Amino acid sequence: MSGRTHTANRGIRFSAKELQDLAVAWLALGVAFMFFLNGDLATGLLAGDFPVAEAARSFGLSLATVGVGFLLHELAHKVVAIRFGQLAEFRADYSMLALAIAAGLAGFLFAAPGAVYHGGRPITKRQNGLIALAGPLTNVALVAVFLPFVFLFDGLLGTVGVLGVGINALLAGFNMIPFGPLDGRKVLTWSKPVFAGSFLLCGGLAAAVFVVLFG
């Protein structure tokens, strides 16, 4: 998701606060999806018999798939916003991250880690729409990156491929919903034809991937 503010740094640079927020969001999402993907970990934690080795494997898988998809989605917003002369910086939503971890422990999928806020000189609806569209299209590109792992590898790397494809397809489709602060609403505000095409691409990809991989 992307938003607006007037408190960001110039150029493709990262403040200490932004790096901290990115790291915390990445790690928190890793923890949340670690529990979501492996319900036995939550059971073991509550029973006082936490399987450390299994947790480390699930945590690493989450960081490499969910974490990478999230980070590159947000950085795509930042890069395009800067390309249009904006000041842009990521800010984590710590309350939503805590909720994501709680949801993961309970076996639910939820993630609203924060957003890239951008502002500065006035920009057009087209530019704002392109900034928003950069995130979901990055996730579509990551589906293509992870897809070969599904067919070329077994074991851990094959699992990375399946999760990478599934999570990034979900992120692309979900963020193109034209509601609230999601990217789809900004794209729709700019151009209905572009929204229709990108929504069909992202939503169709998400549906197809989950039917093939998880159906």
Residues with a known catalytic role: 74
Structure tokens at 158: 């094959």
Taking the C-alpha atoms of residue 168 and residue 185, their distance in angstroms, rounded to an integer, is: 19
Helix/strand/coil percent split, the chain, to 5: 75, 5, 20
Cα 116 to Cα 114: distance, rounded to the nearest angstrom: 7
Instruction: Count CA atoms within 13 Å of residue 186 on its CB side.
Output: 23
Question: In the structure encoding, which two tokens stand for residue 16, read together?
Answer: 């200490």
Q: How far is CA 8 from each of CA 48, 116, 118, 184, rounded to the nearest angstrom?
A: 44, 10, 7, 24
